[in-house]
Amino acid sequence: MLDKVIFPADHDPRVSSLYALNEIDARAPIETVWKLLVEAGSWFEHFPAENRISILGGARELGPGTRFTRVTVGFAMSCRVTEHVPMRRLAWSTTVEGDETGSTAYHGWVLTPTATGTHILTEETLQGPFYLEEIGRKAPGALYDYHQTWVEGLAKRAEALAGYSGA
């Protein structure tokens, strides 16, 4: 059984407004995939939609407690890393800047070594009226599709860096 994201109680998928789980196997070492995950300022290289990331405090990589901002699907967000287990787990909590409804998100990644590389799993839960309206009602399925594009791009980039040609 593969590991899953460890959600805080208020973001358990069973009580969340929206939830997505995406996973893929990459023919790349876990070290390569991890490096791509923690270098948030370079996410756009494998996922062009994530091209407005700023790690606060001068850090180059996401680490325990790191704060960062991002603009996702046109909305400014403040994030804080809540789980950081090198080569295995990365998660952050998110609030939407200027959102008066108190909507929040929790996004986690779990990496598992396999015989041929790395299993990549990501899960995200969204809570509150902002997300329900902007994503749930206006774009059903968008959260899953967004993350599927992300995991596929991450796997492809990791494989390229590892020298895997797909043959």
Span 109-132, average pLDDT? 94
pLDDT number for residue 1: 47
Sorting pLDDT into bands at 50, 70 and 90, what band is 47?
A: very high
- What mean pLDDT comes out for the span 25-48? 97
Q: Which residues contact 12 (CB under 8 A, 6 or more apart)?
A: 125
What pLDDT, in 10s, does the model give residues 61-112? 999 999 999 998 788 999 999 999 999 999 999 998 888 888 899 999 999 9
From its phi and psi, is residue 73 left (phi > 0), alpha (psi between -120 and 50) or beta?
Answer: left
Q: In the prediction, which pLDDT does 40 show?
A: 96
Q: For residue 130, give the amino acid letter.
A: F
Query: In the predicted model, what is the mean pLDDT of the chain?
Result: 93
Which pTM value belongs to this model? 0.94
Q: What domains are there in the chain, each with its CATH number?
A: 16-161 (3.30.530.20)
